[in-house]
Structure 1
Amino acid sequence: MKKLETSIKKLLRDLGIEKQVLQYQVIADWPSIVGQRIAEVTKAEKIENQVLFIKVNHSTWRNELHYQKADIIEKINKRIGQKIVIDIKFY
């Protein structure tokens, strides 16, 4: 199984789409990264230049998430296995 995973990663890298696939994975996994409560009031929109853009439904939540930003970035990068996100913009 590890061989298959390694082969797939190499194929994605050779095709030049590894980064895009990992970025999509962050967007798709957003609810499980932050949990249901936060996922209900946010939406992961896109990643540009290693910055994750998160739409937040309420300014109170936007402020709270700002304080959690470093922890969220760490969770994302640990889950992906590389430094795919260096900042988050909540809007």
Structure 2
Amino acid sequence: MKTLQQAINKLIKDLGIENRVLENQVLNEWSLVVGKRIAEISTANKIENKVLIVKVLNSSWRNELLFHKRNIIDKLNKKIGKRMVEDIKFY
């Protein structure tokens, strides 16, 4: 007998929306991955072609986040369990 989670996962896969669900999970995990302070000054808006689009409070924070971009990408992908983000564009 399948668990409810297994049934949901199968339905998501059968509907062909697995990537969309994972992309939404990335957006929802943003604040947990970057921490409270960064979450206060930034918002993960969407993913386009494996590029995460993030709005940042100002250019100073944008420059700071650019410095940490690779680490953030690695943490997000590890949290999701699949390589959903290959780059981040901060604006």
Same fold per superposition (TM over 0.5)? yes
TM-aligned CA deviation for residue 33 of structure 1: 1.1
Task: Please name the residue that 1:61 is paired with.
Answer: 61
**Superposition RMSD in Å:** 1.3
Describe how 1:28-67 pairs up with structure 2 within 5 A: 28-67=28-67
CA offsets per residue over residues 47-66 of structure 1, 9 Å max, x none? 01000000001111100100
Residues 6-44 of structure 1: CA distance to partner in whole angstroms, max 9, x if unpaired?
A: 332222111011111111111112111100000000011
Q: Are 1:15 and 2:41 counterparts?
A: no
Identity of counterpart residues, as a percentage? 56
Counterpart CA distance in 1 for 2:4 and 2:81 is 17
Question: May I ask how many residue pairs the two structures share in their alignment?
Answer: 90
TM-score by length of 2: 0.91
Task: Determine the C-alpha separation between the residues in 2 that align with 1:43 and 1:86.
Answer: 18
Normalising by structure 1, what TM-score? 0.91
Looking at structure 1, the residues matched to 23 and 13 of structure 2 have their Cα atoms a distance apart, in angstroms, of 14
